[in-house]
Amino acid sequence: MRFGPLLLLLLLLLLPLCGAGSPALSRSLSLRGGWRIRSGNGSLELPGEVPGCVHSALRRRGFIQDPYYRFNDLNYRWISLDNWTYSKNFKIPFNISNWQKVNLIFEGVDTVAKVLLNNVPIGKTDNMFKRYSFDITSVVSNVNSLELRFQSPVLYAAQQSKAHTSYSVPPDCPPLVQKGQCHVNFIRKEQSSFSWDWGPSFPTQGIWKDVRIEAYNICHLNYFTFSPIYDNHTQVWSLEIESSFDVVSPKPISGQVIVSIPKLQTQQTYSIELQPGERIVELFVKINKNVTVETWWPRGHGHQTGYNMTILFKLVRGLSIEKSTKVYFRTVELIEEPIEGSQGLSFYFKINGLPIFLKGSNWIPADSFQDRVTSDLLRLLLQSAVDANMNTLRVWGGGIYEQDEFYRLCDELGIMVWQDFMFACALYPTGRDFMNSVRAEVAHQIRRLKYHPSIIVWGGNNENEAALMMNWYNIRASELHTYINDYVVLYVKNIRKIVLAEDSSRPFIISSPTNGAESIKEGWLSVNPYDSNFGDVHFYDYINDCWNWKVFPKARFVSEYGYQSWPSFSTLEKVSSKEDWSYNSKFSLHRQHHAGGNDEMLLQIGFHFKLPESTDPLQTFKDTIYLTQVMQAQCVKVETEFYRRSRSEIVRGQGYTMGALYWQLNDIWQAPSWASLGNQLSSPTNYHFLSSLSETVGLHKAHITAVISQQGNTFAFDLETSAVAPFVWLDVGSIPGRFSDNGFLMTERTRTVLFYPWQPTSKSELEQSFRVTSLMDIY
């Protein structure tokens, strides 16, 4: 059915109950907070927090050490191999018999569990990314016991793989160097939680998002979602809104909605009528064309303007609800068209009709344990990206659909988001149960996220087109058609179909990398997904000299590239012991999850720098760590500058690069990785070395001093050097925060750098922790 603009705005603000705020319509009881957790055989029982996971509960109660300490990712494997149970006893603080319907809502369960209320099975969960709603009207009482009996995700994944007898679905296991678990592609869970080449294996169990009881009369709003649409012909903005109601009244529900958008000079009243049962209400609302609508722009291109909306929903019997929300307006187009003087097609994004170069990074989960990822941490990480002059982050498909606060902050900060669906570096089954779960997951995530202006593109998967067509898994040619069919079923006939039905406001691409329109033309999979004349590419080369820009692809869009480095010694020191502090220690080899990674870093260093010369093993380790960071900074700098130069030129038929997203922004633990937050802050001036630093004549060891002063919540480091100092690296030990610049070339005698602490600190604490290193200090 269709209604006018008023109901649209009503639905916009009705979160999450049709009767929210009106006692006669609904009551809600949060089940967050304290729960009990017990092991499979009952030998261990402890308090736990929800949202949370078993690992965090064990750590909080002192049963385990820091999971990131030394080899604890191996020592604590028993946790993910056990079958844990979450339980909670609770009273309903209102008369349950007064309500027509009562639901138990889980916003996120990690992952496989049987749910029992008062010892009655009420449902199962098997997807970390779905929202679950169970009707408990006939089971709930005034005093209740709730249990979630979890199954080990590792054992579940193995069982699902074993049950898939018709053919294998590779890869079975990650490379041995990752020390990971197997068959992660058979469970709808964070794929990197079974290990990755930059992270540990911690397959968590727990209730990782909100859980609550919702009781209601008359009607309930299951979900609402909306997106702005711009008509180029009429030059009018409109809002498309879809809402799902559960009307439990035996008769139709009538009422009025009063919508007020002051800055758009809008106040309108509409009549509505909702029929009994599950009802979808679709709305198409035109915005007053006589008022100028200010659009949302990416960082560096304009303001992130949003409009406050107030909705008063008046139902029968004098019931009323008032809600407020913010709406943003912006358009996005993915342009794939012929380019003069070049084969292939362009691949770039227009925001509000303006072509924009996407500059930024790839985002992975900020922690193995999501309950430790706070709003403050997200703000610090995202603000750091903005301060590094980024305008885009790609939420990578092997992690999670991020929490609401992540996207709200991206909206606020003007960060564009390339949003993958959570499929990565694997082939996937397409059985009935798996596909039903995926369809529900995809529909839920689109409805949850599509109103965010920051999200500019949906991506079907990470590297799975390449995995299949470049034959990563050595599939016999005679069997290839089976896997191609599965690929098309999953990403085209299901995910793409749902995206096109649910969201017409932004583009969808099947994979990354992909040849885009060319891949579609070739039957959804291209013979060469890395063709630099089409779509996007991922490019990694650890063998050739990274200062030689000729090795880089002059591609249309580069959505992954990068180099490894080690984190600073002060970071490693907290999760290691003295015996670990050498480049070839057991610990160093254990933490390196990329085959040959430590040797590749030394190879890149050797192209332009001398290796450390200290006779002190510990100092040699510290100096080597420093050189890996210098090498990474230079490699990423050279490659990024190459892509940015290529944005406006065609050379020998190639170029017109319109995006560069390096791998990766953030770390998940203390180990060698491609992360570079802090290393890549832009200096106000650029520089180019005319020779390798190993061949430079006349450089002297620089004596650098710092005078620290406090300026409000910021600290100024007034530096003074006795000589020209390449790659000046400032370190304040374990004090969290960021410098306004780091790893810089210091040619002037003095320079001031600002430090932004992430938690309260003092001048004296910084003075005690401060260390400065420049290149000649290590020789």
Residue 539 neighbours by CB under 8 Å, 6+ apart: 552, 553, 555, 558, 560, 561
Share of the chain above pLDDT 70, in %: 96
How large is the average pLDDT for residues 737-746? 92
Spatial distance between the Cα atoms of 617 and 141, rounded to a whole number of angstroms: 67
Q: Is the pLDDT of residue 15 over 50?
A: no
Kindly report, residue by residue over 312-337, the tens digit of the pLDDT: 778 777 777 677 789 999 999 999 99
Beta bridge partners of 539: 561
pLDDT, residue 123, reads 98
Spatial distance between the Cα atoms of 703 and 746, rounded to a whole number of angstroms: 12
Burial of 712 (0-12, 13-18, 19+ CB in 10 A): exposed
Spatial distance between the Cα atoms of 18 and 221, rounded to a whole number of angstroms: 5
Burial of 458 (0-12, 13-18, 19+ CB in 10 A): buried
**Considering only 153-157, 486-490, 738-742, which range has the smallest mean pLDDT?**
738-742
Kindly report, residue by residue over 452-493, the tens digit of the pLDDT: 999 999 999 999 999 999 999 999 999 999 999 999 999 999
pLDDT, residue 24, reads 58
> What is this structure's pTM?
0.94
Spatial distance between the Cα atoms of 102 and 112, rounded to a whole number of angstroms: 23
Kindly report, residue by residue over 626-648, the tens digit of the pLDDT: 999 999 999 999 999 999 999 98
Kindly report, residue by residue over 207-258, the tens digit of the pLDDT: 999 999 999 998 888 888 889 999 999 999 988 878 788 989 999 988 877 7
Helix (H) / strand (E) containing 538:
strand 537-539
Residue type, 590: H
φ, ψ of residue 349 in degrees (nearest 5): -110, 140
Tokens 């149970």 — which residue?
85
Known catalytic residue at 560: yes
**Within its chain, how far is the Cα of 684 from the centroid?**
29
Query: Which structure tokens are listed for 247?
Result: 């009307």
The answer to whether residues 540 and 604 touch, using CB atoms and an 8 Å cutoff, is no
**What is the DSSP secondary structure assignment for residue 472, as one 8-state letter?**
T
Q: Is the pLDDT of residue 690 over 90?
A: no
Query: Which structure tokens are listed for 589?
Result: 């080899």
Any idea what the Cα angle at residue 622 is, between residues 621 and 628, rounded to 5°?
A: 90
HEC per residue, 672-725 = CECCCCCCCCCCCCCCCCCCCHHHCCCCCCCCEEEEEEEECCEEEEEEEECCCE
pLDDT band at 429 (very low <50, low <70, confident <90, very high): very high
Distances (CA, A) of 474 to 361, 522, 526: 31, 21, 17
**Considering only 194-208, 262-276, 761-775, which range has the smallest mean pLDDT?**
262-276
The answer to whether residues 397 and 663 touch, using CB atoms and an 8 Å cutoff, is no
Kindly report, residue by residue over 388-426, the tens digit of the pLDDT: 999 999 999 999 999 999 999 999 999 999 999 999 999
The answer to whether residues 427 and 464 touch, using CB atoms and an 8 Å cutoff, is yes
The answer to whether residues 397 and 423 touch, using CB atoms and an 8 Å cutoff, is yes
Spatial distance between the Cα atoms of 365 and 402, rounded to a whole number of angstroms: 8
pLDDT, residue 448, reads 96
Q: Is the pLDDT of residue 11 over 70?
A: no
Known catalytic residue at 336: no
pLDDT band at 49 (very low <50, low <70, confident <90, very high): very high
The answer to whether residues 464 and 424 touch, using CB atoms and an 8 Å cutoff, is yes
Q: Is the pLDDT of residue 5 over 60?
A: no
Q: Is the pLDDT of residue 14 over 50?
A: no
pLDDT band at 684 (very low <50, low <70, confident <90, very high): low
pLDDT band at 260 (very low <50, low <70, confident <90, very high): confident
The answer to whether residues 283 and 225 touch, using CB atoms and an 8 Å cutoff, is no
Q: Which residue out of 336, 463, 465, 502 is catalytically annotated? A: 463
**Within its chain, how far is the Cα of 256 from the centroid?**
40
Spatial distance between the Cα atoms of 184 and 449, rounded to a whole number of angstroms: 25
Q: Which residue out of 190, 441, 502, 560 is catalytically annotated? A: 560
Q: Is the pLDDT of residue 2 over 70?
A: no
Listed residue (399, 43, 55) closest to 206, CA to CA: 55
How large is the average pLDDT for residues 194-210? 98
Residue type, 589: L
Task: Please report how the helices 375-387 and 404-413 are oriented relative to each other, as an axis angle in degrees rounded to 10.
Answer: 30
Tokens 């358009």 — which residue?
331
Query: How do 33-38 and 219-231 pair as beta strands?
Result: unpaired
Residue type, 689: F
The answer to whether residues 13 and 309 touch, using CB atoms and an 8 Å cutoff, is yes
Task: Please report how the helices 597-608 and 617-645 are oriented relative to each other, as an axis angle in degrees rounded to 10.
Answer: 80
pLDDT band at 20 (very low <50, low <70, confident <90, very high): very low
Residue type, 159: Q
Q: Is the pLDDT of residue 8 over 80?
A: no
| DSSP states along 22-66 | -TTTEEEEE--EEEEEE-TTSS-EEEEEES--HHHHHHHTTSS--
The answer to whether residues 738 and 756 touch, using CB atoms and an 8 Å cutoff, is yes
Share of the chain above pLDDT 90, in %: 84
Kindly report, residue by residue over 340-364, the tens digit of the pLDDT: 999 999 999 999 999 999 999 999 9
Q: Is the pLDDT of residue 6 over 50?
A: no
Kindly report, residue by residue over 271-280, the tens digit of the pLDDT: 888 899 998 8
Residue type, 52: G
pLDDT band at 25 (very low <50, low <70, confident <90, very high): confident
Q: Is the pLDDT of residue 13 over 80?
A: no
Within 10 angstroms of residue 645's Cβ, the number of other Cβ atoms is 14
The overall average pLDDT reported for the chain is 93
Listed residue (775, 772, 723, 777) closest to 608, CA to CA: 775
Q: Is the pLDDT of residue 7 over 80?
A: no
